[in-house]
Structure 1
Amino acid sequence: MNNQIPDDALTRLLDRMQIEAQLFKHSDYCGSWAIDTSGSGLVPFHLIERGMGWLHIEGQPPQHLQAGDFVLFPRDLPHVVTSEATPPNPDIINLEESGTKDENFASILCGFYVFRSRAVTPLLNDLPQLVLIKDVHDNPSTAAIGFVIDAALVELDHDYPGRNTALRDLARLLFLNVLRDRIARGLSEHFLAALGDPQIGRALTAIHTDFSRNLSLDVLARLAGMSRSSFSDKFHTLIGITPAKYVTNWRMQEAVVLLETTDLSVEQIADACGYNSHIAFRKAFKSITGTTPRQARMGNTRKYA
């Protein structure tokens, strides 16, 4: 008996995004302090472990942060986290702590999410420039996020073996729960909404997990339990491209992984990605990635981080 839990569309997407969490710093701050981790081109995040602070974004009023708050910047929005509600003096940004622990004290974990595949692009574009999770323990819709933050705080407070590995894994789990929360609360009208939609989600699961099969418009519409026209219209509205274009994009993502991580021939990879003709596969690959399969095999497509 096969008791394996099958992948769903979001699981497969996260696998292909090759998400990594890099911990930048975990520090105590006192007195007048300011942290700026923007400008890396990555996806910065902050977790307020203890104490409080203020989030400053140009053109917006400062936002108060307190213990347990999690802040994520999907498109590396310029920002500063500080000890004061007023904009900080540039001279103190990213300096070591100063003052005493009873003065504007905060303990903060800072890090970055790194995505090794451009499969993440529609997802990040569907998130707002700022994701701020507050009151996670008092809000039923964010209970899972609260548990992950609690586990992270335990790791931060103790020097257990494997601590950094645990923190990186918890950071990845935190990102997943942020996505789940947005789907559950209907905070997306596009890509995340499609992943959570009972009809389009079934089609996306087939695309993400069984991409070698025939995935014509007829097949996908039938999987979704919709007419061809209704399915095509809804898919395009939520995702922004046609089903056929999305299928091709996804197959090329899988092809890049196979080219970079296996010794399969181009003909074998073409077949694995649903192409009967390796010539058609090469043409589609060049159109989507801008490189040839041979260049991809040499690692030249690894440019999405």
Structure 2
Amino acid sequence: MSPADTHIPDPAAVAQPIGDPLGEVLHLLKLSGTFYCQTDLSAPWGFNVPKVDGVLAFIVVTEGQCWLEIGDRKPLLIGQGNLVLLTSGAPHILRSGPDAKTEDLASLPVRKITDAYETLHYGGGGDVTRAMYGIVRFDHAAGQRLMAMLPDVLKIDTWQGYAGTWLQSTLQFISNEARQLRPGGETVITRLADVVVIEAIRNWINTAPEANTGWLQALRDAQIGQAIMAMHRTPAEGWTVETLAKTAGMSRSAFSARFTALVGQSAMQYLTVWRMQLARQKLLETGLPLATIADSLGYTSEPAFSRAFKRVFGVSPGQIRHKKEASPAQ
């Protein structure tokens, strides 16, 4: 059975409160910290970071500089106040200079503060580089989709206007907090680091030409953006092409053609993928019964929900949940 269609939403009512579709997506961004490391490094130093799938790594240099190497790319110099996001999870190297020897990150003398926060004092006693290195995940489906659109390497050299002022102050605050390590300092540092990462993404969205394509361009579109947000807000509704077109204030044919041209898939395909992304999130984060999750996303038939899930992810909902339950022992 297909998703429930007994309750058809009033498109005008759904569209009414929606003001800024792209802003709403940014509001949904929620980072889950996997690992944070505040470093105090003295040249020469260097370490290798292994591949980690499904995460975003970031480096913020608060003092000094370092070199970043990823595969065959030209080495990238990261200076004080710079921030680099690595979105592909690819293995990489950080070091004080192009010729500095490197060691595996896991072999370095870190000091464990909490399960997710460490400090590292390491190096040969020369010029000092202080930086924060973190690995985070996007919890929400919107964040996961956005991360897939980001470039593999995103470097921000300068921050413009007001954002530059408070971000530099925030980086300085992170640096000071790391030196003092007062009670609760690791919580303050990790929360502020999340804010800096999200602001970097906003900066890219607002300035990069490639950020005005595909899904992001569709969110900015005055009509298609309204339909996307309607699906995001009420994924369990019995949406059809007709009701989505009405929400967008367009004819059915014009809406279908424009949605597909901007997003790269039909509106109903998008809705299914969005529902399954939300379902995956619920499977990983809650212990809700499968039938309850299916119902919350508009499916009155658990088998139909499971078939849709497997079409999107290639595995069954039960396999995702089993992976979640097994992960603590891994």
After TM superposition, the score normalised by the length of structure 1 is 0.78
Larger relative strand fraction: 2
Q: How many residues align?
A: 292
Q: Which among 203, 218, 222 is matched to residue 181 of structure 1?
A: 203
**In structure 1, what is the Cα distance between the partners aligned to 2:165 and 2:326?**
36
Root-mean-square deviation (CA), in Å? 3.5
Unmatched segments (≥5 aa) in structure 1: none
**In structure 1, what is the Cα distance between the partners aligned to 2:200 and 2:303?**
41
**In structure 2, what is the Cα distance between the partners aligned to 1:292 and 1:59?**
37
Tell me if 1:236 matches 2:260.
Answer: yes
Correspondence for 2:38 = 26
Map 1:1-305; keep pairs closer than 5 Å: 9-11=24-26, 13-15=28-30, 19-41=31-53, 42-84=55-97, 86-90=98-102, 97-100=122-125, 103-115=126-138, 120-136=143-159, 138-139=160-161, 145-146=167-168, 148-187=170-209, 188=211, 189-258=213-282, 261-263=286-288, 266=291, 268-295=292-319, 298=322
- The residue identity in structure 2 corresponding to 1:169 is R
Is the CA contact 1:38–1:79 (under 8 Å) kept in the aligned structure 2?
yes
**In structure 1, what is the Cα distance between the partners aligned to 2:262 and 2:164?**
24
C-alpha displacement of 1:247: 0.7
SS at match of 1:36: strand
SS at match of 2:64: strand
Is the CA contact 2:139–2:281 (under 8 Å) kept in the aligned structure 1?
no
SS at match of 1:97: strand
C-alpha displacement of 1:191: 3.0
User: 1:70/1:35 Cα in 2 relative to 1: closer, same or farther (>3 Å)?
Assistant: farther
**In structure 1, what is the Cα distance between the partners aligned to 2:221 and 2:257?**
14
Is the CA contact 1:45–1:112 (under 8 Å) kept in the aligned structure 2?
yes
**In structure 1, what is the Cα distance between the partners aligned to 2:167 and 2:223?**
27
- The residue identity in structure 2 corresponding to 1:172 is D
- The residue identity in structure 2 corresponding to 1:48 is V
Question: Deviations along 1:79-100, whole A, 9 cap, x unmatched?
Answer: 322222x343346987663333
User: 1:166/1:200 Cα in 2 relative to 1: closer, same or farther (>3 Å)?
Assistant: farther
**In structure 2, what is the Cα distance between the partners aligned to 1:263 and 1:92?**
40
Is the CA contact 1:49–1:68 (under 8 Å) kept in the aligned structure 2?
yes
User: 1:296/1:92 Cα in 2 relative to 1: closer, same or farther (>3 Å)?
Assistant: closer
**In structure 2, what is the Cα distance between the partners aligned to 1:128 and 1:200?**
24
SS at match of 1:135: coil
C-alpha displacement of 1:182: 2.1
SS at match of 2:223: helix
C-alpha displacement of 1:106: 0.5
- The residue identity in structure 1 corresponding to 2:38 is H
**In structure 1, what is the Cα distance between the partners aligned to 2:18 and 2:185?**
28
C-alpha displacement of 1:183: 2.1
Is the CA contact 2:141–2:281 (under 8 Å) kept in the aligned structure 1?
no
SS at match of 2:90: coil
C-alpha displacement of 1:282: 3.5
Is the CA contact 1:23–1:168 (under 8 Å) kept in the aligned structure 2?
no
Is the CA contact 2:25–2:142 (under 8 Å) kept in the aligned structure 1?
no
User: 1:254/1:57 Cα in 2 relative to 1: closer, same or farther (>3 Å)?
Assistant: closer
C-alpha displacement of 1:207: 1.6
**Larger relative CO (CA 8 A, sep 6+): 1 or 2?**
2
C-alpha displacement of 1:295: 4.8
User: 1:229/1:38 Cα in 2 relative to 1: closer, same or farther (>3 Å)?
Assistant: farther
- The residue identity in structure 1 corresponding to 2:242 is D
- The residue identity in structure 2 corresponding to 1:98 is G
C-alpha displacement of 1:112: 0.5
Is the CA contact 1:43–1:112 (under 8 Å) kept in the aligned structure 2?
yes
Comparing 199-208 with 44-53, greater Cα deviation is found at 199-208
User: 1:213/1:83 Cα in 2 relative to 1: closer, same or farther (>3 Å)?
Assistant: same
**In structure 2, what is the Cα distance between the partners aligned to 1:46 and 1:203?**
36
Is the CA contact 1:186–1:193 (under 8 Å) kept in the aligned structure 2?
no
Question: Deviations along 1:183-227, whole A, 9 cap, x unmatched?
Answer: 222441223333444433322222222111132222222323333
